[in-house]
């Protein structure tokens, strides 16, 4: 991780996962599951997570929208896409609402915590496999 990535990690209010993210923990994750099973599992986990309130979900688009209040108020969008039979990709985008234009890595920590919970319920295949 270079200087620019380090600055962006801590001095930003938005973090999202990607196929070729510089942070291994923030690469798109793949699970061995059909889209409907993965979607319902992620939706259930987000509903059960304290401080998370699911505002909207669409299984057709594979999107779940969550408002959260943990240490800071945040907005999370989860995207679940089936990329091949029995393989589903899960991505997140988190934006933190703060008075300052930075969240000191809070948005990235939200994504990492949610991925840890999903890993306990779905069979993890790998990260950044489409890159």
Domain with residue 83: its CATH number is 3.30.530.20
Q: What is the number of helices (H) and of strands (E) in the chain? A: 3, 7
What is the Cα–Cα distance from 17 to 36, expressed in whole angstroms? 21
Instruction: Please check whether residue 6 lies inside any domain of the structure.
Output: no
Structure tokens at 39: 């979607």
pLDDT at 92: 98
Range of the domain at 27: 12-127
Structure confidence by residue, pLDDT tens digits, 84-115: 999 999 999 999 988 777 778 889 999 999 99
Structure confidence by residue, pLDDT tens digits, 2-28: 666 666 665 678 899 999 888 889 999
pLDDT band at 131 (very low <50, low <70, confident <90, very high): low
Neighbours of 39 (CB within 10 A): 24
Instruction: Please check whether residue 68 lies inside any domain of the structure.
Output: yes
Instruction: Please check whether residue 4 lies inside any domain of the structure.
Output: no
Instruction: Please check whether residue 63 lies inside any domain of the structure.
Output: yes
pTM: 0.88
Instruction: Please check whether residue 54 lies inside any domain of the structure.
Output: yes
Instruction: Please check whether residue 7 lies inside any domain of the structure.
Output: no
What is residue 116's DSSP assignment?
Answer: H
Instruction: Please check whether residue 3 lies inside any domain of the structure.
Output: no
């Amino acid at each position: 991780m270079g200087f620019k990535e380090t600055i962006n990690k801590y001095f930003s209010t938005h973090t999202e996962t990607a196929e070729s993210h510089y942070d291994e923990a923030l690469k798109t994750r793949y699970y061995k599951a059909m889209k409907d099973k993965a979607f319902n599992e992620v939706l259930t986990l987000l509903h059960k997570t304290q401080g998370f309130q699911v505002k909207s979900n669409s299984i057709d688009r594979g999107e779940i929208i969550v408002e959260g209040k943990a240490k800071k108020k945040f907005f999370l969008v989860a995207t679940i896409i089936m990329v091949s039979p029995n393989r589903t990709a899960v991505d997140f985008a988190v934006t933190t609402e703060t008075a300052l234009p930075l969240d000191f890595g809070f948005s990235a920590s939200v994504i990492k915590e949610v991925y840890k919970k999903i890993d306990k319920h779905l069979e993890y295949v790998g990260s950044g496999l489409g890159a």
